[in-house]
C-alpha cells in the first residue's frame, strides 16, 4: 500500500501522528522508510485519507461544453457470450494493493458522468423537470444527506415538457473507449426490460478522458426495446457467474 500511495500522491492526504499529535510535515512520509533501524518507527503513525475531489470535478464538468448525441446502434442477434477470446473483461476483484484508490477513482468518474448528464438535462428541460436521485446527488449537494438512493435501478428521472410520462436515465461511464460498453446489475437489467418501463428507459453513456474531461456523450433511447425484427441493441457478454453447490451430509 505504501508503494501505491507514494506513486499516486495526488489521491491522498498524508499526515503523521507522533505520540498522538498530528505532524503536518508531509515530507516525513518520504523519509519514514529511511529512518535508521535503531529509531522507533512505531512512534510515527501515518494518517492516510483519500482526497475529496468533488470541487475539482464540479469545476471541470460545469465548464464542459460537450453536447450529447442521440445515436442509433447496430442491432444484433448474437447469443449471450462468455468471455470472448482476445477481449479483456476486468474481474473487479478486491485482492490487490491500491483497491481503495481504484474504487475512489471509479466513484469519482461515476460522479463526474452523472453530474454532466444532470447539467445537460437541467439546461434542456428545466430544473423542475429533472430529479437526480442517486447518492451522487447527495455528494453534489442537490438533495439532503441521507436521501440518495442507489436501489432504484436508474440515476436520474426527468420529464420533457411535452411528455406525460417520465423518462428513466441510467448513466454509464467508461474511460478512454470508442465503444458503448458498460456493466449493469441484474436489477437495472430487469427494470429496463420491464414492459412498463421499456419505452422510457434510456442509457446516457459518457466516455471520460484524463482529468474528468468528457470525450463523448451518447444517448441510446429505449435501450432494451427490440426492433421490428426482434433484434437487440447490444451484445450481452457474461462476465461473472453465480456458482451454487449443495453439501451432502452423511447420516
Is the CB of residue 17 less than 8 Å from the CB of residue 44? yes
Q: What stretches of 68-203 show up as alpha helix (H) in DSSP?
A: 99-125, 135-139, 186-193
- Beta strand pairing call for 12-18 and 201-208: unpaired
| Maximal C-alpha separation, the chain | 77
Return the pLDDT at 46. Answer: 52
Is the CB of residue 66 less than 8 Å from the CB of residue 112? no
- The residues spanned by each domain of the chain are 2-50, 54-220
Instruction: Please report, for residues 167, 172, 217, 221, 230, the alpha-carbon distance to residue 203 in angstroms, rounded to integers and kept in the order given.
Output: 10, 7, 10, 6, 19
Return the pLDDT at 90. Answer: 41
Residue 40: Cβ-neighbour burial (10 angstroms; 0-12, 13-18, 19+): exposed
Q: Quote the pTM value.
A: 0.73
The length of the chain, given as a count of residues: 251
- Beta strand pairing call for 156-158 and 130-132: antiparallel
Is the CB of residue 54 less than 8 Å from the CB of residue 63? no
Instruction: Please report, for residues 134, 154, 159, the alpha-carbon distance to residue 193 in angstroms, rounded to integers and kept in the order given.
Output: 20, 13, 20
Q: What is the pLDDT along the chain (251 residues), one digit of tens a residue?
A: 455 445 544 444 545 555 455 545 545 445 555 544 445 545 555 555 567 889 999 999 999 999 999 988 888 877 666 554 544 444 433 333 334 447 788 899 999 999 999 999 999 999 999 999 999 999 999 999 999 999 999 999 999 988 899 999 999 998 767 778 899 999 999 999 999 999 999 999 999 988 899 999 999 999 999 999 999 999 888 878 889 998 988 76
Half-sphere exposure of 154 (CA within 13 A, CB side): 25
Q: Cell triple for residue 204?
A: 446516457
Return the pLDDT at 100. Answer: 45
Kind plus residue range of the DSSP H or E element containing 144: none
Return the pLDDT at 99. Answer: 42
Q: What is the DSSP letter of 78?
A: P
Going 145 to 112 to 160 to 165, the CA torsion angle's sign is negative
- State the Cα–Cα distance between residues 220 and 169, nearest whole angstrom: 10
Amino acid at each position: 500500500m505504501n508503494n501505491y500511495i507514494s506513486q499516486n500522491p495526488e489521491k491522498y492526504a498524508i499526515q503523521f501522528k507522533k505520540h498522538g499529535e498530528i505532524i503536518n510535515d508531509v515530507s516525513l512520509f518520504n523519509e519514514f522508510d529511511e529512518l535508521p533501524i535503531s529509531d522507533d518507527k512505531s512512534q510515527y503513525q501515518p494518517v492516510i485519507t483519500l482526497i475529496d475531489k468533488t470541487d475539482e470535478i464540479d469545476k471541470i464538468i460545469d465548464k464542459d461544453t460537450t453536447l450529447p448525441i442521440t445515436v442509433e446502434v447496430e442491432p444484433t442477434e448474437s447469443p449471450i457470450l462468455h468471455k470472448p477470446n482476445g477481449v479483456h473483461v476486468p474481474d473487479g476483484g478486491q485482492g490487490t494493493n491500491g483497491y481503495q484508490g481504484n474504487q475512489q477513482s471509479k466513484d469519482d468518474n461515476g460522479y463526474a458522468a452523472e453530474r454532466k448528464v444532470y447539467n445537460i438535462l437541467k439546461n434542456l428541460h428545466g430544473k423542475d423537470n429533472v430529479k437526480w436521485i442517486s447518492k451522487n446527488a447527495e455528494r453534489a449537494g442537490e438533495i439532503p444527506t441521507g436521501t440518495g438512493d442507489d436501489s432504484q435501478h436508474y440515476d436520474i428521472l426527468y420529464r420533457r415538457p411535452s411528455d406525460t410520462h417520465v423518462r428513466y436515465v441510467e448513466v454509464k461511464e467508461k474511460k478512454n473507449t470508442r465503444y458503448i460498453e458498460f456493466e449493469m446489475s441484474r436489477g437495472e437489467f430487469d427494470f429496463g426490460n420491464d414492459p412498463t418501463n421499456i419505452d422510457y428507459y434510456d442509457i446516457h453513456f459518457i466516455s471520460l478522458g484524463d482529468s474528468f474531461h468528457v470525450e463523448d456523450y451518447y444517448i441510446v433511447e429505449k435501450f432494451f426495446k427490440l426492433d421490428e425484427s426482434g433484434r437487440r441493441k447490444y451484445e450481452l457478454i457474461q462476465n461473472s457467474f453465480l456458482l451454487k453447490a449443495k453439501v451432502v451430509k452423511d447420516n
